[in-house]
């Protein structure tokens, strides 16, 4: 389908659509999701914010090796969450991979399946991809390790407080 970046065994990694707005709002309005996403990210409140988010996330793909995509379960058409390759705060030439799932889609391997494909895509165009997690975000750390990233220890370089850093190179 047009706008599809990658197909994995179960998932389509694709551009966001306006029709995804209710799902985006459902995902980003959840404190249990946004508490892990950077410094003091406020939960989303309105469909208008979701539409703006969709436009912004689709706009990330304006540089090689960057993008912020929806992860759709092909069999059901449900958007499980998102995977992204985005610049680090204040150092946009450095790219981090990230992921988040709606709680109704965790525990099925969707994050690592989508992230593995997106990491491979990124490393075709980038010299290195990083990932940063809160120290106690063990589900996210398991995703990073499962897709072959290497634990590079703790850093306070990009976010307030310590993060655990993961690296991958071609």
Ligand X SMILES: CC(C)(COP(=O)(O)OP(=O)(O)OC[C@H]1O[C@@H](n2cnc3c(N)ncnc32)[C@H](O)[C@@H]1OP(=O)(O)O)[C@@H](O)C(=O)NCCC(=O)NCCS
Q: List residues near ligand X by CB under 6 A.
A: 33, 36-37, 81, 98-101, 106-112, 133, 137, 139-140, 142-143
Q: Smallest gap, in angstroms, from Cβ of residue 120 to ligand X? A: 16
Residue keyed to tokens 């410094």: 39
- What is the strand order of the sheet 4-7 is part of? 4-7, 11-14, 67-73, 79-88, 91-101, 129-134, 163-168, 150-155
Q: Smallest gap, in angstroms, from Cβ of residue 157 to ligand X? A: 15
Choice between 21 and 111, CB closer to ligand X: 111
C-alpha 144/C-alpha 150 separation (Å) is 8
Choice between 58 and 106, CB closer to ligand X: 106
Q: Smallest gap, in angstroms, from Cβ of residue 2 to ligand X? A: 26
Backbone angles phi, psi at 153, to 5 degrees: 90, -160
Choice between 36 and 158, CB closer to ligand X: 36
Q: Compute the half-sphere exposure of residue 87: CA atoms within 13 Å on the CB side of its CA.
A: 11
Choice between 54 and 110, CB closer to ligand X: 110
């Amino acid at each position: 389908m047009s706008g599809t970046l990658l197909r994995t065994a179960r998932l389509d990694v694709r551009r966001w659509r306006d029709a995804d707005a209710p799902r985006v709002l459902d995902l980003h309005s959840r404190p249990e999701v946004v508490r892990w996403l950077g410094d003091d990210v406020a939960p989303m409140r309105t469909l208008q914010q979701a539409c703006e988010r969709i436009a912004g996330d689709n706009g990330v793909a304006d540089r090689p090796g960057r993008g912020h995509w929806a992860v759709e379960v092909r069999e059901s058409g449900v958007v499980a969450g998102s995977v992204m390759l985005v610049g680090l705060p204040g150092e946009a030439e450095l790219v981090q991979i990230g992921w988040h799932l709606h709680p109704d889609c965790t525990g099925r391997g969707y994050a690592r399946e989508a992230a593995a494909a997106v990491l491979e895509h990124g490393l075709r165009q980038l010299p290195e991809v990083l990932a940063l997690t809160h120290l106690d975000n063990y589900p996210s750390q398991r995703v990073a390790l499962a897709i072959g990233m290497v634990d590079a220890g703790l850093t306070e370089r990009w976010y307030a407080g310590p993060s655990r850093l993961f690296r991958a190179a071609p």
